[in-house]
Amino acid sequence: MVFRAAKGKGRTIGIGSLEGSESVRTSMALAEATGYGHPVAYFDAVSLVEDLRDGKVDAAVRGDLDSKEAMAAIKSVFGLKKIMRMALLQPRGEGIFFLAPVGVDEGETVAEKIELARRGAAFISRMGVEVRIGVMSGGRNTDRGRSKIVDKTIDEADEMVLKLKEDGLDAEDVQILIEDAVKNKTIVIAPDGISGNLIFRCIHLVDGGRSMGAPVLNLDKVFIDTSRAKGSYVDSIALASALSANAIHPHKGHPGNIKR
């Protein structure tokens, strides 16, 4: 669906690049040859984000720019206190799911994780994807009492599932069983941003699963965050082009209105 919707030579997609980045250069050439818009390289995060704000590009991809600089630019230019991202992942031999939080400084509170789940549900619903949320904790429920840290994550998962169900969302406590969650959930909420980032790295960078990138959910423009370790950004450019073409803006609508 993404690759079909990405076709559109009239779209301009800005992509961040380190000076002399071969992976970004070859990705741009292949993406344009395939018809995924017209990629333009930016060597400065602020310029990329400002041009996104001003409509000089239809969508933006972080590319291999430094994450801290790119996120700081988004916060400054768009006046955001927090950035909420959700990564699209496909483990080898499994289906596609969305993972959050994936930033090491994201998902630090129950309220923030609930907001991520709600925004993520609204986002994938507009993409035509069925919402099935799996909320993770740091252990099985039978592990309660072994660790205060694990107990806290179990309690938080229980609270999140209850509140998400009150919103009419399909949510389930999947405990620590990531191996089951990736098979039957379309959104997986990790216990925190550190564990989410580790899950992302294990699936994508260690085992070679696909990651098209992580759309920023609380932004009225399309910005796809990516890993600097990614070998090719063609699929991320395609995702940016597809989202801009379909006007799928994660901030629009009220996530709580989504029903099963």
CATH code, domain carrying 142? 3.40.50.10750
Q: Quote the number of domains for the chain.
A: 2
For 181-184, the CB contacts below 8 A with 24+ separation are 181/97, 181/134, 181/136, 182/89, 182/91, 182/94, 182/95, 182/97, 183/94, 183/95, 184/132, 184/134
Structure tokens at 16: 């961040």
- Residue 56 burial (CB count, 10 A): 13
Asked if residue 90 and residue 205 are part of one domain, the reply reads yes
Q: Over its length of 260 residues, how does the chain's per-residue pLDDT go in tens digits?
A: 888 889 987 899 999 999 989 999 999 999 999 999 999 999 999 999 999 999 999 999 999 999 999 999 999 999 999 899 999 999 988 888 999 999 888 899 999 999 999 999 998 988 888 999 999 999 999 999 999 999 999 999 999 999 999 999 999 999 999 999 999 999 999 999 999 999 999 998 898 888 899 999 999 999 999 988 788 999 999 999 999 976 444 444 433 333 32
Asked if residue 74 and residue 47 are part of one domain, the reply reads yes
Domain holding 192, by residue range, is: 85-210
pLDDT tens per residue across span 78-101: 999 989 999 999 998 888 899 999
Asked if residue 125 and residue 58 are part of one domain, the reply reads no
Asked if residue 188 and residue 104 are part of one domain, the reply reads yes
Task: For 167, list phi and psi in degrees, rounded to 5.
Answer: -80, -5
Asked if residue 95 and residue 74 are part of one domain, the reply reads no
- Which H, E and C letters describe 137-191, residue by residue? CCCCHHHCCCCHHHHHHHHHHHHHHHHHHHCCCCEEEEECCHHHHHHHCCEEECC
Asked if residue 204 and residue 95 are part of one domain, the reply reads yes
Q: Which of 210, 231, 248 is the last residue of a domain?
A: 210
CATH code, domain carrying 76? 3.40.50.10950
pLDDT tens per residue across span 23-36: 999 999 999 999 99
Asked if residue 142 and residue 228 are part of one domain, the reply reads no
Q: Which of 172, 188, 210 is the last residue of a domain?
A: 210
**Which burial class, exposed, middle or buried, applies to 108 when counting CB atoms under 10 A from its CB (0-12, 13-18, 19+)?**
middle
Structure tokens at 94: 């499994």
Q: Which of 210, 234, 250 is the last residue of a domain?
A: 210
